[in-house]
Amino acid sequence: MVFVEAFYALVVICVVLFLYTRTALPSVEDRNFQAFQRTYLVVYLLGAAGDWMQGPHVYALYQSYGMSTHQIEQLFVAGFGSSMVFGTVVGSFADKIGRRTNCILYGILYSLACVTKHFANFWILMVGRLLGGVATSILFSAFDSWLVCEHNARGFDRDLLGSMFSLATLGNSVVAISAGIMAQVFADRFGFVAPFDVSATLLIIMCIIAVFTWTENYGDSSVNLGQSLVNAMKAIKQDRKILCLGLIQSLFEGAMYTFVLEWTPALTPPTTLPTGEAPKETIPHGWIFADFMVAVMIGSSLFKILCKFSTPESFMRPVFFIAALSLSVPIFMPEQQAPIFLGFLTFEVCVGMFWPALSTLKGKYVPEETRATVYNCFRIPLNMIVISILLQNLGMSLIFKCCSGFLLVACLAQQWVYSLSVSSPKTVVALSPDQEANGLQNKQPLIEDI
């Protein structure tokens, strides 16, 4: 089967590229940076594993509780809505109460969301989706904010930040595949709720490790939340590079989350069945998911290689254009499984490059004092895009036209970022007032120190 053969071919390519990055590219000899890298990745990947463990069986769990399709759609929309409204506020607390504290709050909220999965009650499950939406906003803002701030405060080379994000993306893909397998094993043996219990356990372990190995850092803790939001909006308005990055994130991730909802019907070949008979599953979802994750890993290695010859501001322009072309395949070649699958793999490679590139650019241009708040503001239009598409009964061709259009606009925004970076490059990220006052006096031990 093509999906299985593709997996082994992708693994070979991934291993070759990974070994190349380890041998042909300069290695980091700074033991302090290596220890710092491990300290961040252990906590971050545990948090990501807690998220991935829940994904494969959410829909199946709701179905097992007798929820209708409409109720399940309401629960999913509530999650994105919660992330857009409540998540933006709670996630923005990171700049004031501390990024480490917010990451720990992520673990607590997501663990509580897992507890709600034990109840076959729509409203209790709704509470869980609301908690999960808030937690998701924290996952995609506070962890990056903590890393960038701590990296700069410890005085590490700025070029190493991209390498860190690339490794985090690669590790996230490995965790995704492992979590998917583990979730399936526990679900088969103990039922659909079991993966959520494992997720809660991983999140609690993450919180404990973060308490003992991460130091706290802040944005500007002297201002209240309202002022922090005002400052974040001013930063977005005054610096067009930040505005473009927010637009790029919203459009690319909007296309990506929509793709997640549409790749199954796009790859499922049409079948003629007797009237009233439900269509049978004809594609191996597990293998295809593994293919996608390995493609993401390939993208993360390509990002690391390209950074040695160019800058993300420059090489991400063709990446977004290629991503737009890859999602246009179902438009021009509908029901053609092989070319559509190849296009989707290409898109996932672009996703693997997008994550470390966007994180690197945000770390470079977003001001430290409002970093987490700005990151969460970026997610407002993103969630609006996903909710709008979820609430519409659009045809597959129109949906992929929208996705390709989003990516083409993102390509234009990236060209704008490149032009602005050439005309007014920014190479220094100022420390927040709290960092300037405290320096590194509150530094906590790294993992290998305890």
Q: Which of 414, 407, 409, 297 is nearest to 356 (CA)?
A: 297
Report the pLDDT value the prediction gives residue 440, as an integer from 0 to 100.
Answer: 40
Q: What is the pLDDT of residue 374?
A: 87
Q: How much of the chain, in percent, has pLDDT values that exceed 70? A: 88
Among the ranges 268-277, 339-348, 381-390, which has the highest mean pLDDT value? 339-348
Q: Which residue has better confidence, 124 or 392?
A: 124
Measured between alpha carbons, how far is 381 from 244 in angstroms, rounded to an integer?
Answer: 13
Q: Please, how many CA atoms are within 13 Å of residue 282, restricted to the half-sphere of its CB?
A: 13
Mean pLDDT of 243-255: 93
Joined together, the tokens standing for residue 307 give: 């950074």
Specify the pLDDT at position 216: 93
Residue 413 pLDDT > 90: yes
Cα separations in angstroms, 211 against 32, 108, 200, 204: 20, 13, 17, 11
pLDDT grade for 271, boundaries at 50, 70 and 90: low
What local confidence, expressed as pLDDT, does residue 445 receive? 41
Cβ distance 145 to 99 under 8 Å?
yes
pTM of the entire predicted model: 0.82
Q: Name the token pair of 382.
A: 């993103």
Confidence of residue 375 (pLDDT cuts 50, 70, 90): confident
382 vs 197 pLDDT, higher one? 197
CA distances from 450 to 35, 64, 109, 213 (A): 12, 45, 27, 8
Chain centroid, CA 352 distance in Å? 10
Tell whether the model's pLDDT for residue 427 goes beyond 70.
Answer: no
**Over 80: is that where the pLDDT of 276 sits?**
no
pLDDT at position 31 is: 86
Ranked by mean pLDDT, the top range of 61-70, 200-209, 267-276, 389-398 is: 200-209
Residue 448 has pLDDT above 60, yes or no: no
- Residue of 92, 70, 362, 132 lying closest to 221 (CA atoms): 92
pLDDT of residue 358: 93
The rounded percent of the chain whose pLDDT value lies above 90 is 47
439 pLDDT band (50/70/90 cuts)? very low
* Mean pLDDT confidence for 24-38: 82
pLDDT, average across residues 232-259: 91
The per-residue pLDDT for 91 is 63
Average the pLDDT over 361-369 and give the result: 88
